Structure 1
Amino acid sequence: MSKVVLITGGSSGIGKSIGEFLSEKGFKVYGTSRSPEHYTSSKFPILKLDVKDASTISSCVQSLLELEDRLDVLINNAGVGITGPIEEIPLDEMKSHFDTNFFGPLQVIKAVLPQMRKQQNGLIINVTSIAGYMGLPYRGIYSASKGALELVTEAYRMELKSFNIKMTNVAPGDFATNIAAGRFHAPIQEDSPYKVPYGNTLKLMDSHVDFGKDPKIMAEAIFKVINTPDPKIHYKVGEFIQKVSIVLKRILPDKVYEKMLLNHYKL
């Protein structure tokens, strides 16, 4: 029997690549979007879901269960980016960001757990970010939201263990997607003390995405995780240097690591 997979944010970028790859492998894939009517030509069904709207989450899960009567894998992929000097990002934008990247995935998890508990099995994959392992300049709020999801997964795994429900994180590095176009950019203000360093860092971040890896690599990694009987807690998918940076953070003195980041971003 083909496994049933739900991918939030499955209409574009990494989510779309994962959905297409898993569909080719024989999975029954359902993606989600706030505006599914825009994706009628998708290679797999797109259901309506907004991770910031609990009613759409409940309706989506209910619709899926009416179609399939089970859910084997949830891939919490929906997310947004945010950049800017922390001092200059409006508080409402910070809260909105966490609603999407942190509280949103938690709400989707809560919606699928009763069914997975009923089945006595299930797998939840939270797509986080290598940026969630460190506080990056002018990406601090994004790092914080992804880091929070990484940590809450560690706790959730232990709470779900007795129900045979598994949970893991997959943290991508930079991939060639449209995330830069969709993220919130604090404007570069002419009178801002951060004008020059923030502007330069923004160009560097955008270039990383523009020359990022093919998101199919992420899809292949997710496929391997799904087929792993006992998934690890954390997976990292990206350039060698990006994965090494996490190891260096663990072994280097804090100020040495901070200096390394400052040199990288030319700050």
Structure 2
Amino acid sequence: MSKVVLITGGSSGIGKSIGEFLKEKGFVVYGTSRSPERYASSSFPILKLDVRDADTIQTCVQSLLELEGKLDVLINNAGVGITGPIEEIPMAEIKNNFETNFFGPLEVIKAVLPQMRKQGAGLIINVTSIAGYMGLPYRGIYSASKGALELVTEAYNMELKDFNIKMTNVAPGDFATNIASGRFHAPVLEDSPYKQSYGNTLKLMDSHVDSGKDPKVMAQAIYNIINTKKPKIHYKVGEFMQTFSIVLKRILPDRIYEKLLINHYKL
């Protein structure tokens, strides 16, 4: 029987590319969106789910199980970007980012684990970010929310070892998607002490996304992981220098690594 895959945030960007790729490979694919009616032309079904709403999560998972009777792979892809000087980002936006990027994925995991335990098998793939491995200027909240999910995955893997349920992270670098248009941007305030450096960094970040890799590269990586008997806990997918930056962070003294980031962002 074909494996059944649920992809949160599967209506656009990386999630959509993953869904289309897996469907072509013979998987039974379901995506999710807060507004599934907007994606009637999707090549795979889109179910209603808001990762910030536990009731919609439970309803979505139950609906899928009624349709398919099983769930083999969860891809926790739904997420939202956020930029700005940490001092100037409204606390409500910081909490919303963690609700979407961290607490939401945890709720989805909790909703699918009973079924995977019942099956005696399952794979959960959390889509994080290379930004989650380092505190990036003007993306500190995003780095923190993605980094939190990376660490929780490590703990979860040990807790789930007796149930044949595997969990892994896939940290993408910059991909050519519409993520920049959907993230929260703290405004560049005229009277802000961060006006010049934040404004310049914002332009640099947007240019990185515009020139990013094709999302199909991420889809291929996900496919390879699903077909791996013993997946690693951490995967990184992106340009060489983005993935290599994680290695540099491990081996360089903190201040030297910080200096590299400062030079990169021209701060």
Shift of 1:213: 0.5
Shift of 1:85: 0.1
Provide Cα deviations, 1:170-208, integer angstroms capped at 9, x if missing partner: 000000000000000000000000000000000000000
TM-score (normalised: structure 2): 1.00
Is 1:251 the counterpart of 2:251 in the alignment?
A: yes
What one-letter code is carried by the residue in structure 2 that aligns with 1:59? T
Shift of 1:123: 0.1
Gaps of at least 5 residues in structure 2 are: none
Q: Which SS does the other structure have where 2:146 is aligned?
A: helix
What one-letter code is carried by the residue in structure 1 that aligns with 2:74? L
What one-letter code is carried by the residue in structure 1 that aligns with 2:142? Y
Q: Which residue of 2 aligns with 1:204?
A: 204
Shift of 1:229: 0.3
What one-letter code is carried by the residue in structure 1 that aligns with 2:233? I
What one-letter code is carried by the residue in structure 2 that aligns with 1:213? K
Provide Cα deviations, 1:17-55, integer angstroms capped at 9, x if missing partner: 000000000000000000000000000000000000000
Q: Aligned residues: percent identity?
A: 84
TM-score (normalised: structure 1): 1.00
What one-letter code is carried by the residue in structure 2 that aligns with 1:136? L
Aligned equivalents of 1:143, 1:97: Cα separation in 2: 11
Is 1:135 the counterpart of 2:135 in the alignment?
A: yes
Shift of 1:240: 0.3
Aligned equivalents of 1:25, 1:225: Cα separation in 2: 14
Q: Which residue of 1 aligns with 2:85?
A: 85
Aligned equivalents of 1:93, 1:243: Cα separation in 2: 28
Shift of 1:219: 0.1
> How many residues matched?
267
Is 1:20 the counterpart of 2:33 in the alignment?
A: no
1:182-221 pair list within 5 angstroms: 182-221=182-221
Aligned equivalents of 2:154, 2:47: Cα separation in 1: 29
Provide Cα deviations, 1:110-151, integer angstroms capped at 9, x if missing partner: 000000000010000000000000000000000000000000
Gaps of at least 5 residues in structure 1 are: none
Aligned equivalents of 1:47, 1:91: Cα separation in 2: 30
Aligned equivalents of 1:104, 1:146: Cα separation in 2: 12
What one-letter code is carried by the residue in structure 1 that aligns with 2:31? G
1:107-126 pair list within 5 angstroms: 107-126=107-126
Shift of 1:264: 0.2
Provide the alpha-carbon RMSD of the alignment.
0.3
Shift of 1:75: 0.0
Aligned equivalents of 1:227, 1:58: Cα separation in 2: 27
